[in-house]
């Protein structure tokens, strides 16, 4: 019988990392305990902070013996910032743990056995690999341990950075981040200084007052463009200030090719506006993957690791065994990145996407690359595919369907509709192994089987992992 109680302190040996990055261990009775910020092979004294019927959650009280995989984090904000959960874990071991998490999650949630999984594909770069970062303004600053111990007096009512782990309401004031690029830190810091001197407060969800909401920086890794997207609440005086900020930024940093202003009038704290103004440049950047040029606007989805995205698309092209007689459906197509990548290998690609701006980018990207065999359809997929017979009549039978949904996975009605279309091959691209496993279970109930699984590390030093699965008709 398990006798654990909240606030108990017990000694555990960490066996592995669970999905989400927590250490997993078991008591002598076999009871599962998840330990925050723990590493494989650590021996730790932990304090139980939450007790459930089948598991407990704990925090480290004392490290008794260190993990051989532990390394010194490069970032001074590590631990306080929620951006890089695994920066203290050797990168090779990060890959081992992510591969194990993917296979175990698919087997446990999906109920699969004896699956063929290839070795995880490491990221070409472990730092400065991202092409997009979203930074939040806040009037509730989260101080790091070093800031607290310095005994300096900080302005806690204005900051710009990344959220503290698990805290939507607290932000670490980040002056240097190793995820986007060195030059992006210069831009971020100048925006912070301007905003702080503007006398306009950060937006707060407490009473929905304030002006400054987000800074989103996007970069082209191949073509050298940079977009600064300033997301604010509505305020005409602030909007005039942003025009001054845009001029200041582009004068100081000539590598900034466009500045965009998104005005979010909603209470929800999201970095997408109801209105958009272009303050400088064309309002988009361009990225190059293989020989293709992709135009990316402020709110378009594009894989955040350009080099690894290129590797993933090459993998799909290789596994697809495409030919000129095939029609391919690309579900959740975004700006058309996968559709355009395979277009020259097939008869036609039909992309489906709910975000209108992303579809406009997809259509424009087709014209830029002189691709004439892609069609892009706007709408909610659960509505578009409600009647599979009508889909087939309008867009022809798909020999292959590619699915790349958000982290939440597909709408519950979609797996059955896809099966009814009877493609020979299905590719499922996912950044969440839990929803991936859930959807695979539905697709594979009768007519399909999992053929190959390729984990891809798109996000070094985080707990996330991309996965490509190929399914074949039985």
Give 19's pLDDT tier (boundaries 50, 70, 90). Answer: confident
Same domain, 359 and 462: yes
- Stated pTM of the model: 0.89
Give the mean model confidence (pLDDT) for residues 198-215.
92
Same domain, 312 and 418: yes
Crossing angle of helices 433-443 and 414-421, rounded to 10° = 50
418 phi/psi in degrees, rounded to 5: -65, -45
Q: Would 299 be classed as within a structural domain?
A: no
Same domain, 263 and 375: no
- CATH number of the domain encompassing residue 221: 2.40.50.1070
Whether 431 is a known active-site residue: answer: yes
- Among candidate residues 81, 333, 374, 431, the one labeled active-site is 431
- Specify whether the backbone of 199 is left (phi greater than 0), alpha (psi in -120 to 50) or beta: left
DSSP labels for 248-290?
HHHHH-TT--EEEEEE--SSS--S--SEEEEEESSSEEEEEET
Same domain, 192 and 334: no
Q: How is residue 254 written in tokens?
A: 């000539």
- CATH number of the domain encompassing residue 59: 2.40.50.140
Please give the Cα distance from 381 to 397 (Å, whole number).
17
What does the pLDDT read at residue 2? 67
Same domain, 116 and 155: no
SS3 assignment, position 138: strand
Same domain, 313 and 359: yes
Task: Work out the percent of the chain whose per-residue pLDDT is above 90.
Answer: 81
Cβ atoms 310, 288 nearer than 8 A? no
| Total number of domains constituting the chain | 3
Give the mean model confidence (pLDDT) for residues 440-465.
95
Same domain, 341 and 249: no
Domain of residue 154, residue span: 132-288
Same domain, 169 and 108: no
- β-bridge pairing 16-17 and 23-26: antiparallel
Q: What is the DSSP letter of 381?
A: H
What does the pLDDT read at residue 335? 86
What does the pLDDT read at residue 447? 94
What does the pLDDT read at residue 145? 78
pLDDT, tens digit (0-9, with 9 covering 90-100), for 37-75 = 999 999 999 999 999 999 999 999 999 999 999 999 999
pLDDT, tens digit (0-9, with 9 covering 90-100), for 286-338 = 999 999 999 888 988 888 999 999 999 999 999 999 999 999 999 999 889 99
Cβ atoms 233, 203 nearer than 8 A? yes
Task: Work out the percent of the chain whose per-residue pLDDT is above 70.
Answer: 100
Q: Would 80 be classed as within a structural domain?
A: no
Q: Would 214 be classed as within a structural domain?
A: yes
Same domain, 263 and 388: no
Kindly tell me if the per-residue pLDDT of 355 is higher than 90.
no
Q: Would 442 be classed as within a structural domain?
A: yes
Please give the Cα distance from 388 to 171 (Å, whole number).
46
Residue with tokens 């867009």: 395
What does the pLDDT read at residue 110? 95
Same domain, 252 and 150: yes
Give the mean model confidence (pLDDT) for residues 126-144.
92
pLDDT, tens digit (0-9, with 9 covering 90-100), for 213-250 = 999 999 999 998 999 999 999 998 899 999 999 999 99
pLDDT, tens digit (0-9, with 9 covering 90-100), for 417-439 = 999 999 999 999 999 999 999 99
Same domain, 439 and 335: yes
Same domain, 344 and 360: yes
Cβ atoms 230, 262 nearer than 8 A? yes
Neighbours of 226 (CB within 10 A): 23
């Amino acid at each position: 019988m398990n006798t654990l109680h909240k606030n108990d302190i017990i000694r555990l040996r960490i066996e592995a990392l669970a999905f989400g990055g927590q250490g997993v261990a078991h008591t002598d009775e076999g009871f599962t305990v998840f330990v925050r910020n723990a590493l494989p092979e650590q021996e730790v004294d932990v304090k139980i902070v939450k007790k459930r019927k089948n598991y407990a959650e704990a925090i480290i009280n004392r490290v008794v013996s260190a993990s051989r995989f532990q390394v010194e984090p490069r970032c001074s904000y590590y631990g306080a910032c929620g951006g890089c959960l695994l920066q203290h874990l050797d990168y090779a071991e990060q890959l081992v743990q992510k591969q194990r998490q993917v296979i175990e999650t698919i087997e446990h949630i999906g109920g699969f056995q004896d699956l063929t999984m290839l070795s995880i594909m490491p990221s070409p770069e472990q730092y400065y690999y991202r092409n997009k970062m979203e930074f939040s303004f806040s009037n509730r600053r989260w101080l790091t341990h070093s800031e607290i111990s310095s005994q300096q007096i900080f302005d806690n009512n204005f900051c710009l950075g990344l959220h503290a782990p698990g805290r939507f309401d607290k932000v670490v004031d980040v002056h240097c981040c190793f995820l986007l690029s060195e030059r992006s830190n210069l831009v971020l810091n100048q925006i912070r200084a301007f905003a702080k001197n503007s006398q306009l407060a950060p937006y707060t969800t407490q009473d929905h007052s304030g002006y400054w909401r987000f800074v989103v920086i996007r970069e082209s890794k191949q073509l050298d463009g940079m977009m600064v997207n300033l997301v604010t609440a509505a305020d005409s005086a602030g909007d005039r200030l942003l025009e001054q900020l845009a001029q200041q930024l582009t004068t100081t940093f000539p590598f900034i090719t466009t500045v965009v202003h998104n005005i979010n009038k909603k209470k929800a704290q999201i970095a997408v506006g109801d209105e958009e103004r272009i303050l400088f440049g064309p309002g988009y950047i361009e990225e190059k993957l293989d020989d293709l040029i992709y135009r990316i606007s402020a709110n378009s989805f594009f894989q955040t690791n350009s080099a690894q995205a290129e590797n993933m698309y090459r993998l799909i092209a290789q596994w697809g065994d495409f030919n000129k007689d095939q029609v391919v459906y690309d579900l959740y197509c975004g700006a058309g990145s996968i559709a355009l990548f395979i277009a020259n290998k097939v008869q036609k690609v039909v992309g489906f996407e709910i975000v209108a701006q992303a579809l406009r980018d997809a259509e424009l990207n087709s014209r830029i690359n002189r691709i004439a065999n892609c069609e892009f359809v706007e709408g909610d997929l659960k509505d578009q595919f409600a009647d599979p017979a009508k889909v087939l009549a309008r867009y022809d039978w798909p020999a292959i369907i590619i699915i790349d949904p958000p982290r939440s996975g597909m709408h519950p009605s979609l797996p059955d509709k896809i099966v009814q279309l009877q493609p020979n091959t299905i590719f499922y691209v996912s950044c969440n192994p839990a929803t991936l496993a859930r959807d695979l279970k539905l697709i594979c109930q009768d007519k399909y089987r999992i053929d190959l699984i390729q984990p891809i590390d798109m996000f070094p030093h985080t707990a996330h992992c991309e996965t490509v699965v190929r399914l074949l008709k039985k």
